[in-house]
Structure 1
Amino acid sequence: MAEGGFWTRTKRLFRSHTAKDAGADPEEVRERLDEAYRTQSRLLAQVRRGVADVATSRKRVEIQLASLRREIESAGAEAKAAVDRGDDASARLALERQVALEKAATELDDRRSQLRSEEQQLIGSAAGIERQIEDFRVRKDTLAARYSAAQARTEIQGATAGIGAAAGDVGRVMADAERHTRELEATADAVDELMNEGILTRPGESQDEALLRRFDEALGSIDSEPRAVEGDGHGPHQISQ
């Protein structure tokens, strides 16, 4: 699998959602990123299976090649023994079989070289894809962390703004309550003053009782004042009643 095809598919996956990205829900964007990562991981697994398959084929070719080389050595030994015996026909057959085996071995060796080259390319592609997937994962996780931090900061700012607005409302309510309390206190003080002056009756008190109480209080205040009397020419004297 070529590395270019892998990333072409990945880019196509993102381009298919480009028109929606501007107004996309953050959770939907996160899910798409996770799905893209899972897709890349599946493709990487396919590349690795391809590497394993090619490596298995190469091993089989190497086993066949080793077996052919043993047969080539055996055919060469048979040809030499036949020549030593003077058996030209057997020597010729052994040599022909040796040549055929050597040709098959050459073809297998070429196939082994092709498989080894393909295996190395796939290994390099898998390593490159793995690095890019890891880079994508880091960027994805970093983006998720940044999003969570931004979301938390937005919520904190919203809560702070809400608290500030609520504090302003509470301040206005408290100011109104304080003003109303002062008005009630002023009213209560006025009522107490009027009741003390007998203009208003106290609870359970009749109007006559209020007037009598006012008269008694006024009389008591007069009696409590010091009175001046004439003396013996040495100056005024004060006496208490």
Structure 2
Amino acid sequence: MSDNTARMRNIFRIKTSRALDKMEDPREALDDSYDQQVRMLQQVRQGLAEVATARKRIELQGQEMGARYQKLAQQAQEALNQGREDLARTALERRSLLENQVATLRDQHAALQKQQAQLQDNERRLAERIEAFRVEKETMKATYTASQAQARANEVAAGISTQMNDAGASLNRAKDKIAQMQARAAATEELIATGALHDQTGRPDSDLERQLAAGLTRAD
């Protein structure tokens, strides 16, 4: 496998990995999961508020019934004082019916109190779990972000290393070319000096001058 092919495959792998990271970012998945849990908690709290409202409404109804219960007792006594046994009987009958309604209302109130207590316990435990998840989520997101930054830095470093290898190869080729040109220039100069190669740029009869100069140098 050539260096270019390996480099292209490496670049393709890096780009593919980045594309997959964008498509499947775990940070987004964690945020989505957290948002879903928060919505569930809001639903539980809404249900808790509705139960508490219903319980309060029953308490108010109980207070109204209690006031009416006392009033019927007073009316029955007043009717007896006036010798109106028929009215006293009617007041007592209504009072008895009201007792049954109060008993039913009391049972409903007790059931709502129990339901509210259960919802409060569920809300507390769910809120604690969501908070723990939030802390872990942020920790994991920070870890992922740091790992992603390190991976990108390593990829950049790997790319620089590849480029340096290419630059080194280019530098070696340039050195070889320079050495070849220097050797060629030296060989050409030697041929010209020995007269094997005529210097077209020199003066007329310059070859004779060089040879005479060389003879004088040997004579000295």
TM-score range, shorter chain: 0.7 to 0.9
Q: What is the alpha-carbon distance in structure 2 between the residues aligned to residue 113 and residue 29 of structure 1?
A: 49
2:208 aligns to what?
215
Q: For 1:26-65, list aligned pairs within 5 A.
A: 27-28=23-24, 30=26, 31-65=28-62
- Is 1:166 paired with 2:163? yes
Aligned match for 2:83, one of 83, 86, 101 = 86
Q: What is the alpha-carbon distance in structure 2 between the residues aligned to residue 177 and residue 29 of structure 1?
A: 46
How far does residue 160 in structure 1 lie from its aligned partner after superposition? 1.3
Displacement over 4 Å in runs of 4+: 220-227
1:202 aligns to what?
199
Conserved 8 A contact 1:54-1:118? yes
Aligned length: 199
Conserved 8 A contact 2:75-2:88? yes
The one-letter amino acid paired with 2:65 is: L
1:239 aligns to what?
none
**Secondary structure, in 3 states, of the residue corresponding to 1:77?**
helix
Closer/same/farther in 2, CA of residues 43 and 224 from structure 1, 3 Å limit: closer
Aligned match for 1:103, one of 94, 97, 100 = 100
Percentage of identical aligned residues: 32
Q: What is the alpha-carbon distance in structure 2 between the residues aligned to residue 100 and residue 38 of structure 1?
A: 51
Q: What is the alpha-carbon distance in structure 2 between the residues aligned to residue 80 and residue 73 of structure 1?
A: 11
Give the TM-score normalised by the residue count of structure 1.
Answer: 0.70
RMSD, aligned α-carbons: 2.8
How far does residue 223 in structure 1 lie from its aligned partner after superposition? 6.1
Closer/same/farther in 2, CA of residues 193 and 166 from structure 1, 3 Å limit: same
Conserved 8 A contact 1:198-1:213? no
Q: Please list every run of 5 or more consecutive structure 2 residues that lacks an aligned counterpart in the other structure.
A: 1-19
Closer/same/farther in 2, CA of residues 126 and 32 from structure 1, 3 Å limit: same
How far does residue 78 in structure 1 lie from its aligned partner after superposition? 0.7
The structure with the largest helix share of the pair is: 2
Deviates more, 1:94-103 or 1:123-132: 94-103
Aligned match for 2:132, one of 131, 135, 145 = 135
The one-letter amino acid paired with 1:126 is: E
The structure whose RCO (Cα within 8 Å, separation 6+) is larger is 2
